[in-house]
Amino acid sequence: MRSDKHVLKVRIYGADYSIRGQADTDYIKTVADFVDAKMVEVDRTVRVDSALKVAILASLNIADQLFHERSEKDTLRTELEDKIRQLNDLIDHRLSERSVAE
């Protein structure tokens, strides 16, 4: 049986990892580069004494970004649903006016 998984070697915070996944290798590389950049940013900003602490703080930073993005998406979805409801109400109103006039 053939596996559709890709294996890619990436470097994150100075360590090499073999990442296996079904995602495109460019995508895996992009995600690994993002995590590496966050870890380097945390290390530069906070100057903690262990890679584990850097990884945890970078994970918290990434999770914070994720939660903000989800919240923004939910807000936009709610606004869009409200606009759709308003448009549907307006269409229904215009159609009912039209059928009364006929």
Our measurement of the distance from residue 90's CA atom to the centroid of its chain's CA atoms, rounded to an integer in Å, reads 35
Is there a domain that residue 26 lies in? yes
DSSP strands (E only) in the chain: 6-12, 15-21
Residue positions counted in the chain:
102
Domain that holds residue 22: 6-101
What is the structure's pLDDT at 84? 98
What is residue 63's predicted lDDT score, i.e. its pLDDT? 98
Residue 23 domain flag: yes
**Predicted local confidence at residue 4, as pLDDT:** 65
Structure token digits, residue 71 = 């919240």
Decide: 54 and 43 in contact? Cβ < 8 Å: yes
**Model pLDDT for residues 44-83, shown as the tens digit of each residue:** 999 888 999 999 999 999 999 999 999 999 999 999 999 9
22 found inside a domain? yes
Global confidence as pTM: 0.75
Q: Domain for residue 1, yes or no?
A: no
Instruction: Name the β-bridge partners of 11.
Output: 16
Mean pLDDT, the chain, integer = 92
- Residue 2 has what pLDDT? 47
Residue 40 lies in a domain: yes
Structural domain count of the chain: 1
